Amino acid sequence: MQLLEDRIKQDGVVIKNEILKVDSFINHQIDVDLLNKVCKYLGEKFQNIDKIVTIETSGIPFSIGISQVLGNIPVVFAKKSKSLILNSENAYTSEVKSFTRKSNSLIYIDKNYLHENESCLIVDDFLAEGNAAMGLVDIIKQAKAKVAGVAIVIEKEFQGGHKRLEEAGYHVESAAIIKGFKDNKVVF
Amino acid sequence: MQLLEDRIKQDGVVIKNEILKVDSFINHQIDVDLLNKVCKYLGEKFQNIDKIVTIETSGIPFSIGISQVLGNIPVVFAKKSKSLILNSENAYTSEVKSFTRKSNSLIYIDKNYLHENESCLIVDDFLAEGNAAMGLVDIIKQAKAKVAGVAIVIEKEFQGGHKRLEEAGYHVESAAIIKGFKDNKVVF
């Protein structure tokens, strides 16, 4: 999506040829006009979705926008647990390795909010190695619900998450696909 | 707002006459159709707003919806720091006492995303004692920006936050105002 790629070129900050910061329009300050357009672009690529599933925090705003495009379907966001042991029999849980933080975290969704056979669209702001998305896939499968696809705002293709999810059989769409970083600039 | 009060009566869960859980439609699963209506109700009560300021996590979805009503103005969400000491000269910070967690946390906003004289609308899902809102007021003042008002989804009037903010000179609007809890039921 040209509009988003142009914005990343203009306002994204690449650190050490490794990390892309988009704090000024996606992750800390949110450009809601851009968000609406990205959500329209992504939402129109999927049909017959019952529910959107994301992870707190940055996936939430785009989940709301995509839900609006898909008829205001419910959004469920997985919460991050502070401990790796969760005192609850009422939640589906999965362990997720964080790329940026080099640590694992436990995510969970209350069993009341995912149901058998529901068609779920996974939404997130970033796709790197695909760990967060695979954690959500894991949780959706535990609920015997269906993964209808994965909608991503910014994909770092070179980290392999897209390929990994497609090889697992899932339809992935990204609004911007980054091929790599060179001289602290983004290559599309 | 009758629609929201009815929904709280129907699906809210009161624990020990003290805590209201609205996980099924606001805090974990989000009813986006309800969100749109609440945001229209709240957004129309304010004018000439430049920016929405909220705190992660649960304030974010409603901030997006209110931004859309107010012309897709930028949303900035304060982040919660894991430590009370923040290694950054580039952020405005404030310490916030949490009512439910009985502990303090440090919230911060990057100095790049708040500017002098900007008219800021504070948005949050809950208003109890008003600590979170006052933390955002503190940050907005540090930036020499203006607090144009406070928009709240659910207010627990008996905890005094509304009164406290009004006495400090701020215009507060809440979509649902809870007078108290009785026999683990909500009283409006």
Q: What is the CATH number of the domain that holds A103?
A: 3.40.50.2020
Q: Which residues pair with B20 in a beta bridge?
A: B14
Q: Is the pTM of this model over 0.90?
A: yes
Neighbours of A174 (CB within 10 A): 21
Instruction: For residue A110, give the chain B residue with the closest CA.
Output: B28
Confidence of residue B152 (pLDDT cuts 50, 70, 90): very high
A30, B77: Cβ pair inside 8 Å?
A: yes
Our CA-based measurement puts residue B74 at a distance from the nearest CA of chain A, in whole angstroms, of 5
Please count the structural domains in chain A: 1
How many Cα atoms sit within 13 Å of B141 on the Cβ side? Answer: 9
Range(s) of the domain holding residue A76: 2-83+91-187
Confidence of residue A78 (pLDDT cuts 50, 70, 90): very high
Q: Is the pLDDT of residue B102 over 80?
A: no
Phi, psi of B90 (to 5 degrees): -100, 10
Strands (E), A31-184: 51-55, 75-81, 91-97, 104-110, 119-127, 146-156, 172-178, 180-182
At A82-114, the pLDDT tens digits run 766 666 689 999 999 876 666 788 999 999 999
Q: Is the pLDDT of residue B86 over 90?
A: no
Q: Does B37 touch chain A (CB under 8 A)?
A: no
Query: What percent of the residues of chain B are helix, what percent strand, and what percent coil, each to the nearest 5?
Result: 35, 35, 30
Instruction: For residue B33, give the chain A residue with the closest CA.
Output: A72
Q: Does B13 touch chain A (CB under 8 A)?
A: no
